[in-house]
Amino acid sequence: MVVEEIRGKSGGENGNYDNFPVGMRVLAVDDDPTCLRLLETLLRKCQYHVTVKSQAREALQILRENKDRFDLVISDVHMPDMDGFKLLELVGLEMDLPVIMLSANSDPKLVMKGVTHGACDYLVKPIRIEELRNIWQHVIRRKKFDSGKQNKCTDQINNCQASGQGQMSLMTGNVDQNGKFNRKRKDDDDESEDNGDENEDPATQKKPRVVWSIELHRKFVAAVNQLGIEKAVPKRILDMMNVEGLTRENVASHLQKYRLYLKRISSVATQQANMAAALGIKDSPFVRMSSLDRLGDFRNLAGSGRFANTALSPYSANGMLGRLNSPGGVNLHNLTSSALIQPNHAQNLSNSMSNAGKFHPVITPGSQNGSLFQGSLEMDQLQKNKCTTEITNFNSMDDSRMFTAASAFTNTGEAIGSSSNYLNGDPNNLMMLHGNSQQALSGGFGNQSSLNMASFNAESLNGGVGQSSNFLDHGKFNETWQTIQLPKVQSNTLFSAEHLQDQLPLNTVRDNNSSNSPHLQNNPLDISSTTMASRPLEDSRGEIQFQEGLVGQNSDTIFGSFDFNIPANGNLPPSSKSLDQSTGIFNRKMEMVVNSRLPGGASTLMQRNEIEQSNTDSRRSNENFLLEQAKLQGGFVSQSYGSLDDLVNAVVKREQDGNISDGNFGFDDYSFGPGI
């Protein structure tokens, strides 16, 4: 290690310093203060530039604030507010940073889980300093193979000592479980398109990191849709998008992630995580859709949280759902295009978001969905619940957001927490979710909203969940209900999904609710707010406000649009009709699926969820659920995506069964829980 002064690279850039790895910027996350302190000191000893956070939410927040502020993230697996794996996925999706997992548990299953979620390494506590001396390799490796960022790799590689071989333990990009391992692996398959000229001469020239904003993503999705997912090649997509400054590599890498995301969505859809199973569903590794790496976008969506109740329905109309018909099954594209989400909504949302949570309860159909979705995504991610992605109500969210959300959602492989409950992880749900995500994505909300959104979503989702608790007497559906809560959640979506994740286990949600109960009671939105409120929402502070604002929304509308079939309740009122109108097919499907009557239904659902989830799991499901919901919203409409149909069917079936216990759409339920 070269002992030299660290070239100041604060924040802004990608740490392109000559003395790399000295000065490598690391973000360390661990809830245990003793371990965190130790880790910090060890890292400092290695001459890295360290920032510590004891909460995953906070970590996500600062990461989102500035993606380029860090080179590497090290996170504990076992954390109370968010599952380390979820954080891992989110970071990978949104920021595309290498993440190293840390745990006292060396169980191979967990290690594998880390791998499948995209961790680039897995260290066992107590950590020795020698292990940390080599972690810079992950940064280099990523940069080197990252088609979009060819900057300093060569230089850095030159500078670095050759010790690299270190622990490639998890780094094997080849760990492709069902294609889950989706860290960009240039040398693999998909990248073939990239291979060509990509590595131009890149080593020396520093390309700014491309941020896939909602708008950009929307264009991307539209282009892909137009070309057809099978035939979409980066060059053509690039041409179609016609964005200045965007390179084929950027598109290629984004495409790869997107594909993975789609794959993941579909695989998620096929697994039905037992949502009902108390949201604690863990495992089913959802293929991480790294494609959606620009979760940020959808975060924005989430932020917009404008889940206007009404929006929900209209949203669908926007065909966000329709978008789901890309061959890939994820009509994210569609969503984006239809972007019901009105730009202004997005803006509003963003504005609101930026206003620290003054979310205008403008729930634009499109935007909302996005946000919802987003939230759900977040939630989803957090909660490994296979929420039924019946987030149909996410109409308003940007497609991109939705997408992002969805992706985030899917990526984490966790059923959208809430949604999962909702549909029992039906593949359909997945679709729905997906759709929602799309919508969310299309929201194109501002960046900051994204942040909020993300968190918000989570929150909202949770909120929803929380709400559900209010509503639902039977906590059975917790998971599923969560989705339903989406409508409410919409406002919540603003809440950072993280929040949701953090703690919104359904149970928690419930608690949350209680804290805000008065608030919640009034609105579905309330629920979300409640949930949010109770959480130590750091990010979502503004969101909460938002929620509150939203809360005022007619839950009915929201719910109505949701039309989540909350099988769990078994008595989902066919409110989905409203959805139908707006979302067309989606609505229909949603109806089937969600007959959630929202105010009541949702609550039931939520409650169920809550009940189901005993802890973080539930939270996750909520999130998932929300995500799902969001997804559903957007994506349902025309799903060409087979799963949507399945989803719907499933939903219908579910209805019949009157038991949506496994609302999770086959999303994994990350158990935050024990022993991670």
Partner 1 sequence: MERNLHRQLANMKKSLFDQGYLDEQFIQLEELQDAANPNFVEEVVTMYYRDSARLIQNIDHALEKNPLDFAKLDNYMHQFKGSSCSIGAKKLKNECTQFKEYCETGNGEGCKRTFQQVKKEYAALKKKLEHYFQFARQVGPVEKACRPK
**Residues that bind partner 1 in the complex, under the rule CB under 8 A:** 32-35, 37-38, 41-42, 44-45, 76, 78, 103-105, 125-126, 128-129, 673-676
Q: How far apart are CA 486 and CA 490, in angstroms?
A: 6
Residue 20 · residue 160 · CB < 8 Å: yes
Nearer residue to partner 1 within complex by CB, 281 or 627: 281
Identify residue 556 by its one-letter amino acid code: D
Q: Tell me the HSE value of 616 on the side-chain side, using a 13 A CA sphere.
A: 29
Write down the H helix ranges in 228-308: 234-241, 248-270, 295-304
Nearer residue to partner 1 within complex by CB, 42 or 372: 42
Sequence-distant (6+) residues with CB within 8 A of 396 are 304, 306, 307, 308, 311, 312, 314, 315, 340, 341, 342, 345, 363, 364, 365, 366, 367, 368, 369, 370, 371, 372, 439, 443, 490
Nearer residue to partner 1 within complex by CB, 11 or 126: 126
Nearer residue to partner 1 within complex by CB, 37 or 209: 37
Question: Smallest gap, in angstroms, from Cβ of residue 233 to partner 1?
Answer: 47
Question: Smallest gap, in angstroms, from Cβ of residue 602 to partner 1?
Answer: 29
In the structure encoding, which two tokens stand for residue 377, read together?
Answer: 């995504």
Question: Smallest gap, in angstroms, from Cβ of residue 611 to partner 1?
Answer: 16
Question: Smallest gap, in angstroms, from Cβ of residue 126 to partner 1?
Answer: 5
Question: Smallest gap, in angstroms, from Cβ of residue 114 to partner 1?
Answer: 16
In the structure encoding, which two tokens stand for residue 321, read together?
Answer: 């759902």
Phi, psi for 414 (deg, rounded to 5): -105, 135
Identify residue 117 by its one-letter amino acid code: H
Nearer residue to partner 1 within complex by CB, 103 or 225: 103
DSSP 496: B
Question: Smallest gap, in angstroms, from Cβ of residue 285 to partner 1?
Answer: 21
Question: Smallest gap, in angstroms, from Cβ of residue 41 to partner 1?
Answer: 5
506-to-379, 383, 518, 613, 675 alpha-carbon distances in Å: 11, 10, 18, 5, 20
Question: Smallest gap, in angstroms, from Cβ of residue 94 to partner 1?
Answer: 27
Nearer residue to partner 1 within complex by CB, 32 or 176: 32
In the structure encoding, which two tokens stand for residue 413, read together?
Answer: 């492989």
Nearer residue to partner 1 within complex by CB, 114 or 560: 114
Question: Smallest gap, in angstroms, from Cβ of residue 33 to partner 1?
Answer: 5
In the structure encoding, which two tokens stand for residue 256, read together?
Answer: 């790869």
Centroid of chain to Cα 326: 20
Q: How far apart are the first and last CA of the chain?
A: 32
Nearer residue to partner 1 within complex by CB, 282 or 306: 282
5: left (phi over 0), alpha (psi -120 to 50) or beta: beta
Closest to 332 (Cα-Cα) out of 296, 365, 373: 373
Question: Smallest gap, in angstroms, from Cβ of residue 482 to partner 1?
Answer: 22
Q: How far apart are CA 214 and CA 548, in angstroms?
A: 25
Q: How far apart are CA 258 and CA 309, in angstroms?
A: 30
Residue 593 · residue 652 · CB < 8 Å: yes
Phi, psi for 102 (deg, rounded to 5): -135, 135
Question: Smallest gap, in angstroms, from Cβ of residue 248 to partner 1?
Answer: 45
Nearer residue to partner 1 within complex by CB, 47 or 338: 47
Nearer residue to partner 1 within complex by CB, 74 or 391: 74
Question: Smallest gap, in angstroms, from Cβ of residue 32 to partner 1?
Answer: 5
Q: How far apart are CA 364 and CA 117, in angstroms?
A: 33
Nearer residue to partner 1 within complex by CB, 342 or 508: 508
489-to-181, 278, 486, 530, 552 alpha-carbon distances in Å: 31, 20, 4, 10, 12
Residue 125 · residue 103 · CB < 8 Å: yes
Nearer residue to partner 1 within complex by CB, 102 or 551: 102
Question: Smallest gap, in angstroms, from Cβ of residue 26 to partner 1?
Answer: 16
Q: Which residues pair with 441 in a beta bridge?
A: 398, 399
- Which uninterrupted H or E stretch holds 507? helix 506-522
Nearer residue to partner 1 within complex by CB, 40 or 176: 40
- Which uninterrupted H or E stretch holds 88? helix 84-90
